[in-house]
Amino acid sequence: MPELPEVEIVRRSLDKKTKNKKVKKVLIRNRNLRTKIPLHFSKFLKGKKIIKVKRFSKYLIICLSNKSYCLLHLGMSGTIHLIYNQKKSLVTNASFYSSPLLPKKHNHVEIFFDEFKIVYNDPRRFGFFELVANEYFLVKKFAKLGPEPFQPEFNLNYIYSFLKRKKKNIKNLLLDQNFVSGIGNIYASEILFLSKINPEKKVFFLTKKDCEKIILNSRKVLINAIKKGGSSIRDFKNTAGKQGNFQKNFKVYERKGLNCKRSNCKGIIRKKIISNRSSFFCSMCQK
């Protein structure tokens, strides 16, 4: 599943390619995504210029010239492909996960511009599009989500006051989008390793020093992942010719049975299923 860094890579690709470009046509091949694509979707987008592409959490926010918005959530398996009219590209994927080339099946939405089109592909159909009339409704849409790790609101006072009301473990809390937006399963494991915190530790046992580590390492891990192009267990280049390789920097994720990478630690990386998700952690240095 694409997490915040992967969605940010898609955002940068789309923003670079579509900024100030006018939508010529929209073709919908399948409306049945996680939520049905609205009947007026094509009319809503056609003729509008894309001012820029923003992101919040795992949502792509396409800003249109009439001050309305089109939101896109990639779900579990959604990808965006850029297809040019006059030239063939060896790689069409705007990010680094899933197929580098446009698959033949599950191409649900095509948005046409003068020189190219963008295609939304989603085999599992957990992604969705949402139309937002104006900024008021955009703010309202995200009101219940927690801050991103990069935002100043994600601070010690916020975290420590939030923990007092919770009985869950820290791994599940990091995945709770109402607490903090954008952290997914891969990066939660990496953040907790750097913080030396066991994923099953109950949050009411966390100290203020633990919380400070979580703030620092959440930002550190996500920024590093964005710089590395995100995590794509399969290596290939995106449409810009760059390769996503944060997976080469994993400290614990998918390293079950291997030695801990922390110096002076003789621990072994363990895997445990927590709330139906794989969690990886060091058996010794994560307390």
- pLDDT tens digit sequence for 95-135: 877 788 899 999 999 999 999 999 999 999 999 999 999 99
pLDDT at 157: 94
Note whether 97 and 182 are same-domain residues. no
Which residues lie across from 117 on neighbouring strands?
83, 112
Note whether 113 and 160 are same-domain residues. no
pLDDT of 139 > 60? The answer is: yes
Termini Cα distance of the chain: 28
pLDDT at 156: 95
Confirm whether 3 is a catalytic residue. Answer: yes
Mean pLDDT of 62-76: 97
- Cβ neighbours, 10 Å, residue 190: 25
Note whether 135 and 160 are same-domain residues. no
Place of tokens 């109402």: 178
Domain of residue 97, CATH code: 3.20.190.10
Q: CA–CA separation, 189 vs 219, rounded Å?
A: 14
Please provide the average confidence, as pLDDT, over all residues in the chain.
91
Residue 287 lies in a domain: no
Model confidence, pTM: 0.90
Note whether 136 and 246 are same-domain residues. no
Which residues lie across from 237 on neighbouring strands?
243
Residue 145 lies in a domain: no
Note whether 131 and 172 are same-domain residues. no
Mean pLDDT of 198-226: 94
Task: Read off the pLDDT band of 230 (50, 70, 90).
Answer: low
pLDDT at 173: 95
Q: Which of 202, 220, 261, 277 is catalytic?
A: 277
Structural domain that includes position 134: 4-140
Q: CA–CA separation, 105 vs 125, rounded Å?
A: 12
**Which tokens belong to 33?**
């995504």
Residue 30 lies in a domain: yes
Report percent pLDDT > 70 for the chain: 93
Q: Which of 17, 55, 58, 255 is catalytic?
A: 58
Note whether 88 and 207 are same-domain residues. no
Note whether 160 and 136 are same-domain residues. no
Note whether 30 and 134 are same-domain residues. yes
Note whether 129 and 182 are same-domain residues. no
Residue 247 lies in a domain: yes
pLDDT at 88: 80
pLDDT of 17 > 80? The answer is: yes
Confirm whether 199 is a catalytic residue. Answer: no
What is the domain count for the chain?
A: 2
Residue 229 lies in a domain: yes
Confirm whether 2 is a catalytic residue. Answer: yes
Note whether 172 and 98 are same-domain residues. no
Kindly report the CA angle at 183 between 233 and 141, in degrees rounded to 5? 125
Mean pLDDT of 40-47: 98
